Amino acid sequence: MQQLIRTAFVTGGAQGLGRGFSKALLDRGIKVCFADVQASVGKSTETEFKSLYGDDKVMFCHCDVTSVNNLEDSFNAAVKKFGHVDLMVNNAGIGDESKLVQMISINLTAAIQGSQIALEHMRKDKGGRGGRIINVASTAGLIGVYFSPRYCASKFGLVGYHHSMASNPHAKEMGLQFGCLCPAFTDTAIINFDETKMDYYDEGLKFLEAIGINTVDAVVDGFMHFVDNDDINGDIVTVTAQRGFQVKNKHKRKAHL
């Protein structure tokens, strides 16, 4: 029987998907610490959540995930307030193709660092009580997209990290499970593209119009797969406007590739 999830830490939770995940978790009675680089948006989300769920259920940390010290301090603040973190959600991300170094640093490096911080805290073999680590990648981490190659590279990297961690035969004794969420275009601020943020902007826009846009609620439904099911290790959840959410897991298949 899988351990109950009582507390969560969500990066990039001030708005968009991270806010949606945090609210869905709070609706389930799970306490949430969310971290974000946007101080005022984060504060106002915190005020709203506190009025809905109570002061003891939620906290906001102003945090730039590209600073590992900042990320560690925020995670430790959540541990201090809640006693433990059972669910780590590395969600903070950007999609601006003109910011290569920042993009890799936020979308890939910080998600790996966040996973490592959570892993050290959660691992049962070192006195922790286990937990789940969910990385938010993208369908652009599963198929190449020529108008956003740097973004794709960051998300392919994250999917590779997820597969590697989920395939660790020692994960079970550490009480850890790894999940990866891969939504296609979703109705948040990140898809407010302009010519400076994407190669072949017109073609990118046409592609987006052709495949459609997920609602945040549809992606939150896909995300909750990782909370509602016992055995999620290695699962990749895709969410597309045409097909809704689907669960894939090459680690649970008999064939290796």
Ligand X SMILES: CCCCC/C=C\C=C\[C@H](O)C/C=C\C/C=C\CCCC(=O)O
Could you give the residue numbers annotated as active site?
151
CB 85 within 8 A of CB 36: no
Nearest Cα neighbor of 132 from 144, 145, 143, 123 is 123
Residue with tokens 């969560």: 8
Q: Which two tokens stand for residue 140?
A: 């652009």
Amino acid at 249: N
Shortest separation between residue 50's beta carbon and ligand NAD, angstroms? 18
* Residues within window 70-109 making contact with ligand NAD, judged by CB under 6 A: 91-95, 106
- Report the interface residues with ligand X, using CB under 6 A: 95, 138-140, 143, 145, 148, 151, 184-185, 190-191, 211, 240, 242
Shortest separation between residue 17's beta carbon and ligand X, angstroms? 10
Of 83 and 212, which CB lies nearer to ligand NAD in the complex structure? 212
Q: How far apart are CA 249 and CA 247, in angstroms?
A: 7
* Residues within window 136-165 making contact with ligand NAD, judged by CB under 6 A: 136, 138
Q: How far apart are CA 254 and CA 169, in angstroms?
A: 16
Q: How far apart are CA 13 and CA 6, in angstroms?
A: 18
**For residue 55, what is the DSSP state?**
G
Of 132 and 197, which CB lies nearer to ligand X in the complex structure? 197
Of 61 and 190, which CB lies nearer to ligand X in the complex structure? 190
CB 216 within 8 A of CB 189: no
115 binds, among ligand X, ligand NAD, none (CB under 5 to 8 A by kind): none
Q: Which two tokens stand for residue 81?
A: 């307030």
16 binds, among ligand NAD, ligand X, none (CB under 5 to 8 A by kind): ligand NAD
Q: How far apart are CA 154 and CA 104, in angstroms?
A: 6
Query: Does residue 113 interact with ligand NAD by CB under 6 A?
Result: no
Shortest separation between residue 148's beta carbon and ligand X, angstroms? 3
Shortest separation between residue 170's beta carbon and ligand NAD, angstroms? 27
37 binds, among ligand X, ligand NAD, none (CB under 5 to 8 A by kind): ligand NAD
CB 90 within 8 A of CB 115: yes
Options 5, 8, 10, 14; binder of ligand NAD; rule CB under 6 A: 14
Nearest Cα neighbor of 212 from 181, 182, 183 is 183
* Residues within window 181-220 making contact with ligand NAD, judged by CB under 6 A: 183, 185-186, 188-191
Residues found near ligand NAD in the complex (CB under 6 A): 11-12, 14-18, 36-38, 63-66, 91-95, 106, 136, 138, 183, 185-186, 188-191
